[in-house]
């Protein structure tokens, strides 16, 4: 309703009669801002690639500068279309607020449901569910391992609970008193905890928790379900180590969940946690606690595994301690456990076992809570894990370790059906014990024998070592061993099936933007593709070390390199990377795609990119609407250009671009007298590039349907014509939306070379990232060969050329026309990298005169 | 001291991420690296021993990078200093070069860029006649 009223108001407002030159100035400013914004978005995205060193300050200032540009863009559109899009500013403020929340860090609580099932949780939600919960959820969803059924009560719910009970104010008072040292940490803790435990649940929150609980009970074998409520604080598993400071309540019957939830919340303010936060300079008011509710596993045996022993200098073994019944965390110190030391290397030989005498075990029961039960005599002195279970456990631990790239501390259980469940996993701090005298990585590397170096392309960085497993086409993948390095002739997405087991991947042929590479990145498996000769040099069973950071493959296991990789913090997991990823989520994705769709409205904009796209589209439409349909400025005439190809183009003449006496509504190309515009149209239509479509007739008609904007008699002016050219005798500014991508071309050509320039911008959309970057690469290659100075960022290509003689300039402009015609179909067609070469070749065959093709000679390189 | 003939590098940046990235990558290239997040600690360290190359941020709490590098250069004029800063302006750049800074990199930079700068600084050090200091 508000929108409609705003519209009417805008229409009733007396039109300010800005001269066209001024409007056009704004329009050009919009195009230029548009470009700056897209370049910056691309540049921020580049920083995630791993090559750059950036810090928090960079994220702050880059976000700030980008916000200023987007706001300026909104201001400029508001001049073109006063008051027409009031929502745009609200949407901008909302996105800006969300980004600011991310930048403020700890205190930011993302907007999610109060309660989230584990299956819906990804690492990106770690600010809503805490690191512990997000990590476990990812082990379930990405790695496909068994985790307890359950759900998370988010940090947002925590905030709502606090607000519902007026506790935020109380918290501020206590925090202030603490700062002034008016009360002790114990006193502060007591006040807050009492209030929380006595607090009322917000009604919807309680309902949501019980609903999730009922869903779990309704599941298979729901009878007699018992639950655990575990803390999952923000930062608990990340930058700060709160290990063991917060409460977990185990073995709960279904009716006790709400009380337990409050008890876990209260532990947020345990004296030790308050003290820890004071030491590390974290604000008490910024604290937020998420809670993970899990169905307890009916464990027959359980325990803890360290994938690398933090207490010993032995780098080749894992440590497992396990006991009958519930896990070691539950019974810590109460019961002796079996100890197993197992080789990390494949086959995982047991190096040492110490079997304890296990007289008692703990078991969870719905009726009586946790029970201590005697272990039957024959089981007391035997190992509580079978060799097969140890094997499975060890392989699973390495899957988790390879994914998270750090040594792991894993809590596990085998249930009554013998199934392995991961209860919790976190990074294990293993301080590098290497010192310069005993372990010098650079010396070790110099002494290692290099098999391949710099030959392929890195698709996923990282380091791995293991035995080569050659995979031939059509070979059964069942035999692929856990921890093997997959070596193969061709990259293929069918390897997705074994990618979890693979330590690394090396191929002869393949592309870092292909499907397999995408999957390898998802699982963070170090991958080098396109080495050309890997299958000739690497034989089955050979031990190798793949350094996909340096694009090298070494003979044998370079243990020092693997170890360094393991103890180093994975760069993608640092706070800065996470923050930039979170911020970019609100900046970079493009959701607004189809301008003819009903959802192409300001309210649907979710990112800065969406806003930028919306404004670009509307600015072009506005200029056409004002001049062609509403004859806004009597001094400027807008006409439709009649062409033989399906391209609706509106021309606005700002001086000497069109022959005097031409029709005021529709003209043919012959009536254009603008010299550079004629050259452009010659390239666009006369060169034959437009019709160069080596595909089926059906596909051709599909393409032309994408190209044509809607016929004028069927639609209202607002929906027509996104193709616009503003021209004069020497100048043209052209905005074209061909298919789903944008071309913006701006040029000036006269007798004085110093004034001459041409600017070309191509921006894509719709298809997947790989295809978009292929297309951009193709365009950038052609432009470079035509002596343009080219800047490519993702699927944005910007090219410039200037200060050429009139004749040379017109050649360049002709080429741009030709290229524009040719590119209109590329986004749909470029399905493989091979297409780049095919299209470059096709482009060369264009029937242009010799003068025009001179720049294309070297294109195939 | 390590007792080896390795080129020594000190890195000072109050954002730990920068040190965290640079240390392992330079160590892998065979440098001996020490990192500091606080300028006064780095300052204290340079009174205890000298470094061949110093990489420092400019804007920091307490003693800023410019003061630090000036002191470093006074103590040991042989040390080559590389400035890394997120607030790169003509003024800070020219002031840095006046202070005898070897190179100046604007953050964010690529690992390969800083590695190249360190390599150039090392080459300059090696081309110099051996120091006559005691």
Query: Does the distance separating the beta carbons of A569 and B17 come in below 8 Å?
Result: no
Of residues A235 and A57, more confidence is placed in A57
Residue A180 CB partners (closer than 8 Å, separation 6+) = none
A 546-575: CB under 8 A from B: 564, 568-569, 571, 574-575
Which of A46, A55, A61 to mutate against chain B (most B CBs within 10 Å)?
A: A55
* pLDDT for the residue A699: 38
- A-to-B residue pairs, Cβ atoms closer than 8 angstroms: 60
Task: From residue A504, give the alpha-carbon distance in Å to each of A270, A399, A402, A472.
Answer: 44, 12, 10, 16
How far is Cα A578 from Cα A576, in angstroms, rounded to an integer?
5
* pLDDT for the residue A70: 97
Is A546 in a helix, a strand, or coil?
strand
Give the distance from CA A398 to its chain's centroid: 25
Query: Does the distance separating the beta carbons of B112 and A445 come in below 8 Å?
Result: no
* pLDDT for the residue A249: 84
Query: Does the distance separating the beta carbons of A51 and B110 come in below 8 Å?
Result: yes
Tell whether the model's pLDDT for residue A525 goes beyond 80: yes
How far is Cα A676 from Cα A690, in angstroms, rounded to an integer?
19
What is the pTM for the complete model shown?
A: 0.67
* pLDDT for the residue A430: 66
The residues that bridge with A799 in the sheet, in sequence order, are A760, A790
**CB < 8 Å to B111, chain A:** 51-53
Which two structure tokens, joined as six digits, stand for A234?
Answer: 């923000």
pLDDT digits (tens, 9 = 90+) for B34-45: 999 999 999 999
Query: Does the distance separating the beta carbons of A51 and B13 come in below 8 Å?
Result: no
**How many angstroms away from the CA of A575 is the closest CA of chain B?**
9
Q: Give the number of other Cβ atoms within 10 Å of residue A196's Cβ.
A: 24
**CB < 8 Å to A437, chain B:** 2
3-state secondary structure labels for all residues of A213-233: HHHHHHCCCCCCCCEEEEEEE
**CB < 8 Å to A441, chain B:** 27-28
Report CA torsion sign: A10, A14, A16, A19: positive
* pLDDT for the residue A115: 93
A107-136: b (≥16 Cβ within 10 Å) or e: bbbbebebbbebeebebebbbbbbbbbbbb
Residue B129 CB partners (closer than 8 Å, separation 6+) = none
Tell whether the model's pLDDT for residue A857 goes beyond 90: no
Tell whether the model's pLDDT for residue A812 goes beyond 60: yes
Cα three-residue angle A581-A583-A586, rounded to 5 degrees: 110
Query: Does the distance separating the beta carbons of B4 and A436 come in below 8 Å?
Result: yes
Tell whether the model's pLDDT for residue A539 goes beyond 80: yes
pLDDT digits (tens, 9 = 90+) for A703-712: 333 333 333 3
Tell whether the model's pLDDT for residue A243 goes beyond 70: no
Under a CB-based contact definition with an 8 Å cutoff, are residues A526 and A464 in contact?
yes
* pLDDT for the residue A87: 92
How far is Cα A426 from Cα A309, in angstroms, rounded to an integer?
14
The pLDDT-based confidence of A660 (bands split at 50, 70, 90) is confident
DSSP state of A296: P
Cα three-residue angle B86-B89-B90, rounded to 5 degrees: 150
Closest CA to A793 of A253, A40, A92: A40
Is A283 in a helix, a strand, or coil?
coil
The residues that bridge with A271 in the sheet, in sequence order, are none
Q: What is the dihedral of CA A834, A836, A837, A839, to 10 degrees?
A: 120
Query: Does the distance separating the beta carbons of A57 and B86 come in below 8 Å?
Result: yes
Among the listed ranges A181-185, A214-218, A330-334, A736-740, which one has the minimum average pLDDT value? A330-334
**CB < 8 Å to A64, chain B:** none
How far is Cα A547 from Cα A36, in angstroms, rounded to an integer?
37
How far is Cα A255 from Cα A156, in angstroms, rounded to an integer?
23
The DSSP result for A808-843, as a single string, is HHHHHHHHHHHHHHHHTTHHHH--STHHHHHHHHHH
- Using a CB–CB cutoff of 8 Å, tell me whether A597 touches chain B: no
How far is Cα B91 from Cα A758, in angstroms, rounded to an integer?
34
Report CA torsion sign: A558, A562, A568, A572: positive
**How many angstroms away from the CA of B102 is the closest CA of chain A?**
20
Q: Among A212-216, A325-329, A437-441, A620-624, which range has the highest average pLDDT?
A: A212-216
**H or E segment to which residue A206 belongs:** helix A203-218
Closest CA to A290 of A247, A235, A231: A231
- Using a CB–CB cutoff of 8 Å, tell me whether A204 touches chain B: no
Query: Does the distance separating the beta carbons of B27 and A53 come in below 8 Å?
Result: no
Tell whether the model's pLDDT for residue A738 goes beyond 90: no
Mean pLDDT, to the nearest integer, of A507-511? 85
Tell whether the model's pLDDT for residue A592 goes beyond 90: no
Closest CA to A772 of A729, A730, A814, A742: A742
List the beta strands (DSSP E) in A375-436.
Answer: 408-415, 420-427
Query: Does the distance separating the beta carbons of B24 and A442 come in below 8 Å?
Result: no
How far is Cα A198 from Cα A265, in angstroms, rounded to an integer?
12
* Residue where the block lists tokens 């002494």: A447
* Residue where the block lists tokens 């691309």: A42
Tell whether the model's pLDDT for residue A390 goes beyond 90: yes
- Using a CB–CB cutoff of 8 Å, tell me whether B12 touches chain A: no
**H or E segment to which residue B9 belongs:** strand B8-12
**How many angstroms away from the CA of A789 is the closest CA of chain B?**
22
Mean pLDDT, to the nearest integer, of A329-352? 77
Label residue A760 exposed, middle or buried (CB < 10 Å: 0-12, 13-18, 19+).
buried
pLDDT digits (tens, 9 = 90+) for B70-91: 999 999 999 999 999 988 788 8
How far is Cα A444 from Cα A670, in angstroms, rounded to an integer?
73
Query: Does the distance separating the beta carbons of B28 and A441 come in below 8 Å?
Result: yes
* Residue where the block lists tokens 């045996």: A301
The DSSP result for B24-56, as a single string, is HHHHHTT-EEEEESSHHHHHHHHHHS--SEEEE
The pLDDT-based confidence of A697 (bands split at 50, 70, 90) is very low
Under a CB-based contact definition with an 8 Å cutoff, are residues A777 and A783 in contact?
no
- Picking from B24, B32, B86, the nearest residue to A436 by CB comes out as B32
Query: Does the distance separating the beta carbons of A55 and B17 come in below 8 Å?
Result: yes
3-state secondary structure labels for all residues of A442-509: HHHHHHCCEEEECCCEEEECCEEEEEEEEECCCCCCCCCCCCCEEEEEECCHHHHHHCCCCCEEEEEE
The residues that bridge with A292 in the sheet, in sequence order, are A152, A230
How far is Cα A115 from Cα A155, in angstroms, rounded to an integer?
10
Tell whether the model's pLDDT for residue B11 goes beyond 70: yes
Mean pLDDT, to the nearest integer, of A5-17? 53
What value does the mean pLDDT of chain A take?
81
Tell whether the model's pLDDT for residue A11 goes beyond 70: no
Torsion angles phi and psi, residue A783, rounded to 5 = -65, -40
Which of A53, A240, A545 to mutate against chain B (most B CBs within 10 Å)?
A: A53
Closest CA to A247 of A216, A271, A282, A283: A271
Torsion angles phi and psi, residue A650, rounded to 5 = -100, 130
- Using a CB–CB cutoff of 8 Å, tell me whether A51 touches chain B: yes
Closest CA to A516 of A540, A537, A489, A538: A489
pLDDT digits (tens, 9 = 90+) for B47-67: 999 999 999 999 888 899 999
Is A398 in a helix, a strand, or coil?
helix
The pLDDT-based confidence of A773 (bands split at 50, 70, 90) is low
What value does the mean pLDDT of chain B take?
89
Which two structure tokens, joined as six digits, stand for A486?
Answer: 């997959």
> What percent of chain B has a predicted confidence (pLDDT) above 90?
66
* pLDDT for the residue B133: 47
**CB < 8 Å to B114, chain A:** 53
How far is Cα A145 from Cα A60, in angstroms, rounded to an integer?
37
Residue A99 CB partners (closer than 8 Å, separation 6+) = A63, A67, A583, A586, A587
- Using a CB–CB cutoff of 8 Å, tell me whether B5 touches chain A: no
Tell whether the model's pLDDT for residue A600 goes beyond 80: yes
How far is Cα A566 from Cα A430, in angstroms, rounded to an integer?
9
**How many angstroms away from the CA of A441 is the closest CA of chain B?**
6
How far is Cα A48 from Cα A695, in angstroms, rounded to an integer?
38
Tell whether the model's pLDDT for residue A80 goes beyond 80: yes
pLDDT digits (tens, 9 = 90+) for A355-387: 888 888 888 776 666 778 888 999 989 999 999
- Using a CB–CB cutoff of 8 Å, tell me whether B32 touches chain A: yes
Tell whether the model's pLDDT for residue A206 goes beyond 90: yes
How far is Cα A400 from Cα A394, in angstroms, rounded to an integer?
10
- Picking from A51, A574, A576, the nearest residue to B111 by CB comes out as A51
How far is Cα A505 from Cα A458, in angstroms, rounded to an integer?
10
* pLDDT for the residue A597: 76
Among the listed ranges A299-303, A735-739, A772-776, A841-845, which one has the minimum average pLDDT value? A841-845
* pLDDT for the residue A131: 84
């Amino acid at each position: 309703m508000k929108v409609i009223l705003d519209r009417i108001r805008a229409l009733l407002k007396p039109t300010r009669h800005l001269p066209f030159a001024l409007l056009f100035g704004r329009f050009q400013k919009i195009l230029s801002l548009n470009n700056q914004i897209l370049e910056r978005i691309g540049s921020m995205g580049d920083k995630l690639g791993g090559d750059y060193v950036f810090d928090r300050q960079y994220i702050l200032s880059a976000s700030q500068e980008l916000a200023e540009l987007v706001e300026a863009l909104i201001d400029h559109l508001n001049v073109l279309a006063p008051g027409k899009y009031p929502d745009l500013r609200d949407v901008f403020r909302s996105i800006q607020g969300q980004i600011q929340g991310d930048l403020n860090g700890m205190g930011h609580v993302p907007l999610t449901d109060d309660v989230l099932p584990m299956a819906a949780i990804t690492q990106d939600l770690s600010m809503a569910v805490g690191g512990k919960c997000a990590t476990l959820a990812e082990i379930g969803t990405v790695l496909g391992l068994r985790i307890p059924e359950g759900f998370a009560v988010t940090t947002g719910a925590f905030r709502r609970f606090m607000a519902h009970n007026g506790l935020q104010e109380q918290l501020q008072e206590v925090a202030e008193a603490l700062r002034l040292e008016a009360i002790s940490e114990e006193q502060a803790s007591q006040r807050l905890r009492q209030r929380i435990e006595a607090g009322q649940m917000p009604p919807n929150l309680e309902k949501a928790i019980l609903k999730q609980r009922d869903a779990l009970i309704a599941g298979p074998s729901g009878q007699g379900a018992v639950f655990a409520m575990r803390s999952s604080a923000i930062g608990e598993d990340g930058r700060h180590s709160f290990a063991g400071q917060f409460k977990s309540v185990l073995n709960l019957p279904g009716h006790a969940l709400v009380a337990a939830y409050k008890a876990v919340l209260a532990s947020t303010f345990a004296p030790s946690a308050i003290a820890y936060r004071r030491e590390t300079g974290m604000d008490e008011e910024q604290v937020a606690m998420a809670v993970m509710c899990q169905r307890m596993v009916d464990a027959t045996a359980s325990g803890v595994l360290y994938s690398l022993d933090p207490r010993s200098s032995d780098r080749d073994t894992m440590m497992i301690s396990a006991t009958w019944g519930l896990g070691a965390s539950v019974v810590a110190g109460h019961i002796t456990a079996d100890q197993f030391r197992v080789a990390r290397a494949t086959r995982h030989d047991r190096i040492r076992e110490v079997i304890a005498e296990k007289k008692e075990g703990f078991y969870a029961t719905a009726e009586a809570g946790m029970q201590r039960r005697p272990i039957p005599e024959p089981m007391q002195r035997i190992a509580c894990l079978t060799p097969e279970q140890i094997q499975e456990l060890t392989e699973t631990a390495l899957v988790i370790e390879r994914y998270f790239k750090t040594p792991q501390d894993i809590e596990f259980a085998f249930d009554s059906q013998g199934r392995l469940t991961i209860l919790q996993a976190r990074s294990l701090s293993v301080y590098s014990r290497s010192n310069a005298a005993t372990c010098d990585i650079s010396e070790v590397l110099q002494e290692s024998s290099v098999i391949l170096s710099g030959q392929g392309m890195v698709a996923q960085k990282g380091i791995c070592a293991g035995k080569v497993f050659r995979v031939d086409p059509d070979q059964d993948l069942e035999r692929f061993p856990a921890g093997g390095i997959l070596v193969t002739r061709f990259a293929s997405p069918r390897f997705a099936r074994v990618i979890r087991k693979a330590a690394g991947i090396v191929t002869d042929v393949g592309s870092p933007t292909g499907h397999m590479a995408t999957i390898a990145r998802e699982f963070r498996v170090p991958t080098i593709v396109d080495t050309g000769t890997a299958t000739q040099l690497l034989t089955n069973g050979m031990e190798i070390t793949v350094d996909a950071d340096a694009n090298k493959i070494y003979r044998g296991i370079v243990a020092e390199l693997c170890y360094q990789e393991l103890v180093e913090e994975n760069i993608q997991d640092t706070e800065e990377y996470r923050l930039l990823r979170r911020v970019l989520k609100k900046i970079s994705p493009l959701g607004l795609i189809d301008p003819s769709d009903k959802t192409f409205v300001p309210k649907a904009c979710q990112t800065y990119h969406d806003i930028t796209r919306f404004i670009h589209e509307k600015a072009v439409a506005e200029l056409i609407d004002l001049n062609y349909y509403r004859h806004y400025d009597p001094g400027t005439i807008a006409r439709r250009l009649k062409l033989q190809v399906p391209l609706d183009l509106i021309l606005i003449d700002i001086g000497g671009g069109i022959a005097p006496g031409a029709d005021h509504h529709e003209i043919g190309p012959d009536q254009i007298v603008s010299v550079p515009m004629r050259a452009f149209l010659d390239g666009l239509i006369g060169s034959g590039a437009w019709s160069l479509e080596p595909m089926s007739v059906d596909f051709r008609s599909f393409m032309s349907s994408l190209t044509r904007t809607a016929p004028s008699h069927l639609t209202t002016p607002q929906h027509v014509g996104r193709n616009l050219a503003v021209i004069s005798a020497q100048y043209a500014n052209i905005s074209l939306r061909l298919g789903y991508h944008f071309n913006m071309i701006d040029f000036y050509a006269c007798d004085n070379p110093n004034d001459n320039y041409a600017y070309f911008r191509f921006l894509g959309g719709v298809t997947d990232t790989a295809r978009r970057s292929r297309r951009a690469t193709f365009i950038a290659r052609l432009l470079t060969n035509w002596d343009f100075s080219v800047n490519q960022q993702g699927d944005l290509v910007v090219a410039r050329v200037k200060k050429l003689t009139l004749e040379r300039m017109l050649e360049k402009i002709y080429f741009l026309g030709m290229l524009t015609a040719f590119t209109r179909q590329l986004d749909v067609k470029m399905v493989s990298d091979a297409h780049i070469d095919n299209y470059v070749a096709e482009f060369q065959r264009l029937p242009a005169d010799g003068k025009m093709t001179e720049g294309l000679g070297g294109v195939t390189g | 001291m390590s007792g080896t003939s390795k080129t020594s590098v000190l890195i000072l940046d109050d954002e730990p991420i920068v040190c965290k990235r640079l240390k392992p990558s330079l160590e892998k290239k065979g440098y001996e690296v020490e990192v500091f997040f606080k300028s006064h600690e780095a300052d204290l360290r340079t009174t205890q021993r000298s470094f061949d190359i110093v990489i420092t941020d400019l804007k920091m709490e307490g003693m800023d990078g410019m003061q630090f590098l000036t002191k470093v250069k006074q103590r040991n004029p042989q040390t080559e200093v590389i400035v890394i800063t997120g607030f790169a302006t003509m003024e800070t750049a020219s002031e840095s070069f006046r202070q005898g800074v070897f190179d100046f990199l604007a953050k964010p930079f690529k690992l390969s860029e800083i590695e190249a700068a360190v390599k150039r600084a090392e080459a300059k050090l090696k081309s110099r006649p051996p120091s006559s200091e005691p």
